[in-house]
Structure formats: structure tokens, C-alpha cells
Structure 1
Amino acid sequence: MKVENRTFVVSGGASGLGLATVRDLVDAKARVVIVDRATPQEAFAADHVLFVRTDITRADEVERAVAEAVAWVGRTGAVLGGVINCAGVGVDEATVDSRGTPHSVENWELHMAVNLTGAFNLTRLVLKHLVRVPPEEPDGERGVVILVSSNAAYEGMPSTIAYAATKGAIRSIALPMARDLARFGVRVIAIAPGPFVTPMTGQWAPKVQIGMTRNGLLFPARYGEPEEFARVVRFVLECVYLNGETIKLTGGGRLPARL
């Protein structure tokens, strides 16, 4: 798909992987709607980026954000091109901690609301409009859905059952959604990153950071840079033959079983 002069909705676009994705898309002369609770960490030209403050867990706010995105598309003439779901949360909690306290339902539900239901709801509302855009020749493509899973979907670390559950679910969504949307010319890809330099990993406890550095990295022996994630997003958007798959972006590393 041609990225230039297309509009992409990016959740979590105010920081981390989402912000890097926004930067890359703007550099490619696309327009971007940032859907996030927080104000973006850098300013963009108003004719290329629209920020809609949104709590991804609030259905009414997500619906309003999509309506504003569609209205903006109407004003700019930059056809809707897809949705990129970068919003996420990760709060560690053991299944049962050392004092015998079980994992809270509240933390479980937070992960479900943000990582899973939030991504599903934003995607379905964008798709309502994406399936109606003019198809791009020669393949008749209308757009792309990008879901963000994690290598936690494959090898979750201790105390990450809620996070791993949501990211495993996101991974499982990609193929059936791609099969549903094939007749509309819409592709679906999930990306499963390993540890990246983001606000989320910056909050990891020191023992987690040490355990990851010693046991979780291969080559290169460092965390991924957000710009590397953004380049994969661009490749996914531009390579029409990519569909229904989950791309692991881990540098060959594996999340450790013990920290």
C-alpha cells in the first residue's frame, strides 16, 4: 500500500513504539491520528497529525475519536489507510505472591481492557470505514490492521500472566481477522516485539533489567530501539503479500524463565 497521503490511526502514539511509528509515517508524508490519554511528547505540524485525547478503555471516547478521525479525513482528502494498535499496559503481579495473596482481578481486568478490548474496539470501529475506501490497484487493497503482540505471548516471564494472556490473545486474533477481512481487501498483521526502549520497560524493577540483560538477549545484545519497530510497521504497510501472520521482532532473544 502506498503510505503517502494516507491517514493512519495510531493508538498509544504519544510515546514509545507508537510515537516512533507516528514519526516514521509523517516522514513518509502520511497523516496520522494519535489516540492516547497522554499529550504527545513532541509537537507535529497540525496538517499532518491530529491528536484526540482518548481513554482506550472508554467505549464512548473511542467512538468519538474514530468519528473525529473520519471527519479529519474528509477535510484533508487523505484516504484512511489503517489502524496501528500500540496502546498497552504491563503491571507485574504474581499468580500467588510470597505471602499467599492471589493475583487481583482488578489488575487482570486492566490488562484486558487496555491491551485486548481496547485494541479490538478501536480496530472494529476503524474497520467500519476502512472497508469502504476505494481499493488500491493492482490487488484491490483497502487498508491494513496492525496489532501489537509481544514475545510474552510465546514465553511469558514470571508475574506477567495478565500481560501474557492479552498478548497471546492478540497474536491469536491476527489470522481469523485476516480471513474475515480478505474479501474487503484489508490485511491484518501482528508484531510481537521483545524488550524495547520504552516507558514500559523503563519501569521494570532492577532485578528484571539485570535478568533480561544477562539471560534474555542474543544479538544484538541490547533492547530494541523504537525506530526499529517503526521501520517494521512501514514494511508491513508497504508489502501487500504480508497477511495473517505474527512477526517476532526480538533480536533472537527469549524472555527468561527466572529473574
Structure 2
Amino acid sequence: MRIDGLAALVTGGGSGLGAATAAHLAALGCKVAVADINQAAAEARAATIGGIGIGCDVADAASGEVAFAAARKAHGPVRILVNCAGVGTAGRIVGRDGPLKLEAFERVIRVNLIGTFNMLRLAAAEMSDAEPLDEGERGVIVNTASIAAYEGQVGQPAYAASKGGVVGLTLPAARELARAGVRVVTIAPGLFHTPMVDGLPPEVQASLGAGIPFPARLGRPSEYAELVEHIVRNRFLNGEVIRLDGALRMPPR
């Protein structure tokens, strides 16, 4: 799919992978709507790239509908959705204080999995009604999973389960939406330099990077954004989950 001039919506676009993706798509000529639970962060990022910022709770049906309506009003039908919104709350199944609070598990599932599906379903409906482009393509949806979906570590039951759900959602969504000319692809990042990592001491960050086979460093958000670009451009990429991890395989702990 061509990129220049298309309308894109990026969730979690106020920081990290989402912010880098929003900026990259804007630089390629996209009309970008930046959605984030932190409306101030969304508006700040949008101001730097010439887009619009929208406060959005991806796990809330009404909030998602408002975000798409705002993006559509500003830029026309969304043709590219990139789901980057997510949380990474850790917690053992049985910790020092007993079993993991069900509310804590539920929150991660709600944001990472239900939130992804909420925005995907809204994008799919909007794209399906849009005019077809080259080869009948109407839109592209890029979701974000994690290598934790495959190698979840101790303390990651909620996160790994939520991202495993995103992986499992990819193929059936792509198969169903194929008739409308809408592609669905998921990226499963490894360890990236994001705000969650920024809070760690420099020596810990260096240690994490050194454990990656090659290149022996943390991933750069720009590298995630570049893969999004390739997915959008390459029409034969569909129904796939792509690991972006420098050949890292996570140990149990």
C-alpha cells in the first residue's frame, strides 16, 4: 500500500514505540492521529509531527469510537492502524503476599488484548467501508505483541497471556478481513529502549542489551517504526507475526 497521503491512527502514540511510529509515518506523508490514555502526551507528540492528538482509553468501546470519529473528521477514513498501547505490570502467580490479585491480571488483559481487539474491530469496520485502493486493498492493521508471548518469564503471567492472545488473534482476523482487502500483521518486539527501560539504571540497561545476540544492544523505537513502514508497503505480508528481537530468546528469569 502506498503511504503518502493516507490517514493513520497510532495508539500509545504519546511515547515509546508508538511515538516513534507516529513520527515516522508523518515523515512519510501520512496524516497521523496520535491516540494515548495520556491526552497531554498525545497532543504534545502530535504537535511535533503536524498531526492531531486524541485522549483514548483503548479498552473502552465508547472512547475508541470517539478516537476514530475524531481521526476521520480531521483526516478522512483511517487506512493504517498501529496498535502500540499497552501495559507491562509484573507479578508472580503466587507472591509473598499470596496469589496475584485477579484485578491486576484482568487489567493487563483488558488493556493489551481487549484494547487491541477494540481498536482492531473499529478499524476493520471503517476500512471495509472505504473505497478500494490498488489491488483492492483498503487498509492495514499492525498489532503489537511481544516475544513474551512465546518465552514468558517468571513474573509475567498476565503480560505473556495478553500478548499470546494478540498473537492468536492475528491469523483469524487476517483471514476474515481478507474479503474486504484489509491486512492484519503483528510485530512481536524483544527488548527495546522505551520509557519502561528508561527508568532502569544505565548498568542494567547495558546488561539487558549485552544479552541480545546481535546487535548486542536494546532495540531502537525507530527500528520498530521502519518495520511498520515495510508491513504497510508490502501487500503480501498478511496474517503473520514477525519477531523483532535480534535473535533473543528469553530465559525463565
**What TM-score, normalized by structure 1, do the two folds share?**
0.90
Q: Which amino acid aligns with 2:37?
A: R
Q: Give 1:2's aligned residue.
A: 2
Deviations 1:142-192 (A, max 9, x none): 110111000001101110000000001101111110000010000000000
CA distance in 1 between counterparts of 2:144 and 2:47 reads: 26
Give the gaps of 5 or more residues in structure 2: none
Q: Does 1:55 align with 2:52?
A: no
Deviations 1:53-97 (A, max 9, x none): 1122322211111111122234xxxx5312110001001101111
SS of 1:157's partner is coil
Q: Give 1:234's aligned residue.
A: 229
CA RMSD of aligned residues (A): 2.1
Q: Is 1:212–1:255's contact at 8 Å kept on the other side of the alignment? A: no
Q: Does 1:26 align with 2:23?
A: no
Q: Give 2:252's aligned residue.
A: 257
Q: Give 2:242's aligned residue.
A: 247
Deviation, 1:250, is 0.2
CA distance in 1 between counterparts of 2:160 and 2:151 reads: 8
Deviations 1:26-79 (A, max 9, x none): 1001011111022237454599411111122322211111111122234xxxx5
Deviation, 1:204, is 5.6
Q: Does 1:144 align with 2:145?
A: no
Q: Give 2:154's aligned residue.
A: 158
Q: Is 1:108–1:162's contact at 8 Å kept on the other side of the alignment? A: yes
Q: Give 2:104's aligned residue.
A: 107
SS of 1:51's partner is strand
Q: Give 1:96's aligned residue.
A: 94
Q: Give 2:118's aligned residue.
A: 121
Give the gaps of 5 or more residues in structure 1: none
CA distance in 2 between counterparts of 1:104 and 1:197 reads: 29
Q: Determine which of 164, 168, 179 is the counterpart of 1:168.
A: 164
SS of 1:244's partner is coil
Q: Give 1:86's aligned residue.
A: 84
Change (3 A) 1:229 1:46: closer
**What TM-score, normalized by structure 2, do the two folds share?**
0.92
Q: Is 1:155–1:255's contact at 8 Å kept on the other side of the alignment? A: yes
Q: Give 1:222's aligned residue.
A: 217
CA distance in 2 between counterparts of 1:198 and 1:45 reads: 20
Change (3 A) 1:46 1:152: closer
Q: Give 1:40's aligned residue.
A: 41
SS of 2:222's partner is helix
Deviation, 1:209, is 5.2
CA distance in 2 between counterparts of 1:96 and 1:32 reads: 43
Q: Which amino acid aligns with 2:92?
A: A
Count of residue pairs brought into register by the alignment = 251
Change (3 A) 1:198 1:107: same
Q: Determine which of 124, 127, 130 is the counterpart of 1:133.
A: 130
Deviation, 1:203, is 4.2
SS of 1:89's partner is coil
CA distance in 2 between counterparts of 1:15 and 1:158 reads: 26
Q: Which amino acid aligns with 1:24?
A: H
- State the percentage of identical aligned residues: 40
Q: Which amino acid aligns with 2:6?
A: R
Q: Which amino acid aligns with 2:112?
A: N
